[in-house]
Chain A
Amino acid sequence: MNAAGSGPVRAEHEEAEREELARLLPAPAERDVPSAPYLHHKDRLMQHIDDDQNRTSAPARKVRRRLLRPALLMPAAALALAGALVVTFTGGGTSGDTTARPRETATVLLDRIAGTAAKSDVKPVRQDQFVYVKSLTAGAEMKEDGSSRLEPLHEREIWKSQQVKRITKTGEMREGGGYAPVHELGGSPAGIDRPTYQWLASLPTDPDALLEELYRMTEPDDGQEKAQAVFDQIGYLLGESVMPPENAAALYKAAAKIPGVTRHEDAVDAAGRHGVGIARVDKRAWTATEWVFDRDSLAYLGVRSYRTKDVGAGRKGDVLEETAVLKRGIVDAYRERPGSAAK
């Protein structure tokens, strides 16, 4: 591909092409930045510049670096262990078969997790209530060449509307200081993309029927395996939601039936908590999604995805996204937190 192309003929062609494209797909109408956020972001920028210039070793920066550490260092460790520790599971009533394959150990673990989930105590959630989830999260910014840069870990709180009908404001989010509404253009009813308690409660509790339903409802991203998309979908449904115990159990049992699911003896979530992992590698995209569970309580701790192979400038072990769930609950209003009145 040559980078030249500034000749007059080229320029004319460019102009014609752009004009045609503009005719085919006109730009959406422009808007001014509303004045409050305009000033807020300007202040934030100026404050940031002042902070950087006034302080050589700002305390805030030290904290950030400390937080980043586990995120950057653990995946390699997790990967190394994952390779070494495909061992027999001995704690859950298996017969101690030393030839057990990884597939079996993941299945046994998922069954145990499902059993625990089935016994958990979840009160039904009303439509006028909100699911609250507080998490520690970071996503990587992807570059064209495959390289990525993980943003600093930060806290996020989200309030999710439980209305079943189509609504345009689906929640609120607090991330990096301010509250922001979550809007969906055209509105969104409860469903696979907006899994409310009631919608989740309506799913089949038979794992086979549920898995079939999930395969039907899930669309893989470009270049992603369908099985991976379904595995990720289950993780998404389990991650930032509240549902009846029998539905959570069914989701775990369904996950156990997806081919390629493995068990990792030592997994770490974004908050640095060690536990046991359930993972699946997408052999098309060469990324892994790993769920982390507390070794004793088998509670869901978080999720992480990372590359399993060098791709372009992207390196094996690069973390693409990670989230640790810190708190989960039901509240009656936006900006209210479990166990406390509205702020």
Chain B
Amino acid sequence: MTDGLRARVRAGDREAFAELYESYARTVYNHAFRLTGDWSVAEEVMGDTFLDAWRTREQLEPGDGTLKPWLLGVATNKARNANRGIGRRLAFLARRPPPAPVADFADETAGRIDDARRLAAVRTVFGRLRRGEQEVLALCVWSGLDYAQAAEAMGIPVGTVRSRLSRARTRLRKLADQRLAEEKKEPPHRRGEVQREAAFAALPFQEFQEDPR
């Protein structure tokens, strides 16, 4: 990161924004995808995030800290908005777990089917968390912010970040325990490797759907 980027961004320096975009477009894009579950929405959220960063540059706190929390905070608000509007009208995935997607990857290669299944499984579990928990988890665990940075990004107290993560963990542990109980009843699947890699990856969708919160 270039020295003084924050100061130059605050001052409205054009080149600083080019640099900001080059450094963080990918990070923002992936964060937006994790929150919305849709790459084309993520792309819009990413584009809008930088426009918003430009518009609100003067509200940025002075200092020399990384700008990542700020950008991810803007992106989180954008994604929440995208989920709201589109979620209602077009019923994107974020609103409720999708029906079992098994047969419909017919035109995909085998490897992509596994990727897609795994992604869908992660999203199904993710979808079981509350919105606030999802956001904090995506920021702290998937985008690597520490608790204080996540608090800065969201404009909430650190204690709230902590309690949301703690609730998310409790919830995920419970789901993992259910899964272990299932495994004891049944011999392991052939997808053993995938299961070790991602705790929930190969799980049948019904298990989650039968236990609404």
Contacts and interface: CB of A to CB of B under 8 A. Distances in A.
Interface of A: 1-6, 14, 17-18, 20-33, 37-38, 40-42, 44-46, 48-50, 52-53, 137, 139-145, 151, 166, 168, 170-171, 175-176, 180-189, 192-194, 219, 222, 232, 236, 239-240, 321
A312 to B, nearest CB: 12
A236 B90 CA distance: 9
Contacts of A14: 146-147
A26 B197 contact: yes
Nearest to A40: B47
Contacts, number: 193
A188 B96 CA distance: 12
A189 B26 CA distance: 32
A240 B89 CA distance: 8
Interface residues of B, number: 80
Contacts of B155: 143-145
B208 interface: no
Given A33-B29, A53-B14, A185-B93, A20 B54 contact: no
Interface of A is mostly: mixed
Contacts of A141: 77-78, 80-81
A288 B159 CA distance: 33
17 contacts: A2-B157, A3-B157, A4-B158, A17-B169, A25-B199, A26-B197, A27-B34, A29-B115, A41-B47, A49-B12, A171-B90, A181-B40, A182-B40, A184-B91, A184-B93, A193-B91, A222-B131
Contacts of B137: 21, 25
Contact of B39 (A22, A31, A145, A219): A31
Contacts of A175: 44
B122 A26 contact: yes
Given A21-B141, A21-B172, A139-B85, A41 B33 contact: no
Contact of B40 (A2, A180, A236): A180
A33 B50 CA distance: 14
Given A25-B126, A185-B98, A186-B93, A37 B33 contact: no
A185 B54 contact: no
Given A3-B158, A18-B140, A143-B155, A184 B92 contact: yes
A103 to B, nearest CB: 26
Given A24-B199, A25-B141, A222-B130, A3 B159 contact: yes
A14 B137 CA distance: 12
A219 B38 contact: no
Interface in B101-140: 101, 104, 115-116, 119-120, 122-123, 125-126, 130-132, 137, 140
